[in-house]
């Protein structure tokens, strides 16, 4: 076992290299300079793969294949790392700018006074807004297709969560165009209406495109992923707590309070109570219900505090380790 403290090596890089030796799969650290990671791999005996092979002058075409692979790798790094070149930084800047505009369109389209400008073809600003939206979707589509072509493995491409979010944020635009052109101006078509509603819901995932451009957000996602066992434990305990005390409150208030006419409503009251939200939409009226309600409130605070301390401590540990 190699100790990073005794050797003075980079801890996040060491974790990735240890993972490589254990599984055979390379998972580079998120917030570490590629040159630092390359030096650590060289130190631990992991040979760097050649991007361009040696030229073989026998006319078998292998040099052309190596050139294509090298170009694909350069384009892939261009899209993945804004620090690879100044042009890559500009491309990522445009991506962030278009994401902001797209989210702005999504928000303003829901405003009653702006909605006709986005949906009514006879409105004054419909055409300019539609053209801007087409430009944004064209940029997103181009970015997605280039990523798809230059990704090292097609299977790994679809395993990447951000690539799936990209396609989910792009498809609603084209589905909307096809449905709008096929319905012949008939807004009463319920099937088309449902399709449009679903597409508009999926447009919300565009906001997650921001995560790709922020290393801190990626670190947070990794920290949350490492604490998933604790989160699942919290959800299971919450489920048991809510069902148990919701059922008890239902039988205490049954017949004396019309608000607690089902266990489902009682469970809703338990959730609102233990999270200290307290909407006030329903509350116990009997003496036994009030006494039990106070017990649920007090126990709920303790119940949530115990697993949360474990989750927060583990999250802080992972977050600080990744930022090293």
pLDDT digits (tens, 9 = 90+) for 88-104: 899 999 999 999 999 99
Q: Give dist(CA 196, CA 206) in Å, integer.
A: 17
Q: Does residue 293 or residue 207 have the better pLDDT?
A: 293
Closest to 218 measured CA to CA, from 10, 8, 12, 11: 12
- CA-CA-CA-CA torsion sign (106, 110, 111, 116): positive
Backbone φ and ψ of 35, nearest 5°:
-65, -40
59: three-class secondary structure by DSSP: coil
Tokens of 152: 């090292």
The mean pLDDT value of the chain amounts to 80
pLDDT value at residue 190: 54
82: three-class secondary structure by DSSP: coil
Residue 14's pLDDT band, with cuts at 50, 70 and 90, is confident
Closest to 62 measured CA to CA, from 71, 70, 53: 53
pLDDT value at residue 31: 61
Q: Which residue has the tokens 């994401």?
A: 99
Tokens of 182: 């096929």
| pLDDT at 321 > cutoff 90 | no
| pLDDT at 206 > cutoff 90 | no
Q: Which residues contact 108 (CB under 8 A, 6 or more apart)?
A: 114, 118
pLDDT value at residue 1: 45
Residue 50's pLDDT band, with cuts at 50, 70 and 90, is very low
227: three-class secondary structure by DSSP: coil
The conformation of residue 47, written as its DSSP 8-state character, comes to P
Q: Indicate the length of the chain as a whole number.
A: 324
Contact assessment for residue 84 and residue 77, using Cβ atoms and an 8 Å cutoff: yes
Contact assessment for residue 95 and residue 143, using Cβ atoms and an 8 Å cutoff: yes
pTM for the whole thing?
A: 0.65
pLDDT value at residue 178: 83
Widest CA span in the chain: 94
């Amino acid at each position: 076992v190699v100790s990073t403290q005794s050797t003075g090596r980079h801890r996040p890089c060491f974790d990735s290299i240890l993972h490589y030796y254990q599984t055979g799969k390379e998972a580079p650290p998120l917030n570490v300079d590629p040159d630092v990671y390359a030096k650590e791999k060289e130190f631990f005996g992991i040979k760097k793969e050649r991007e361009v092979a040696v030229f073989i002058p026998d006319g078998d075409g292998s040099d052309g294949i190596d050139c294509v692979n090298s170009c694909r790798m350069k384009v892939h790094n261009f899209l993945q790392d804004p620090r690879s070149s100044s042009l890559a930084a500009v491309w990522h800047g445009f991506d962030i700018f278009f994401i902001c505009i797209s989210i702005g369109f999504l928000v303003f389209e829901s405003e009653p006074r702006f909605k006709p400008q986005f949906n009514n073809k006879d409105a004054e600003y419909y055409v300019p807004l539609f053209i801007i939206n087409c430009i944004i979707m064209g940029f997103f589509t181009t970015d997605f297709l280039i990523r798809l072509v230059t990704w090292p493995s097609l299977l790994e491409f679809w395993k990447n969560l951000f690539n799936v979010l990209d396609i989910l944020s792009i498809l609603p635009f084209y589905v909307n165009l096809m449905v709008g052109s096929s319905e012949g101006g008939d807004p009463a078509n319920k099937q088309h209406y449902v399709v449009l509603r679903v597409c508009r819901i999926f447009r919300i995932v565009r906001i997650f495109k921001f995560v790709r451009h922020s290393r801190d957000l990626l670190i947070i996602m990794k920290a949350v992923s490492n604490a998933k066992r604790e989160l699942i434990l919290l959800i299971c305990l919450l489920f048991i707590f809510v069902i148990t005390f919701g059922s008890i409150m239902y039988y205490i208030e049954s017949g004396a309070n019309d608000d607690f006419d089902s266990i489902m409503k009682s469970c809703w009251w338990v959730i609102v109570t233990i999270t200290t939200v307290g909407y006030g939409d329903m509350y116990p009226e009997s003496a036994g219900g009030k006494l039990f309600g106070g017990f649920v409130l007090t126990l709920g605070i303790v119940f949530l505090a115990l697993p949360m301390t474990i989750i927060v401590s583990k999250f802080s540990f992972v977050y600080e380790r990744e930022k090293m």
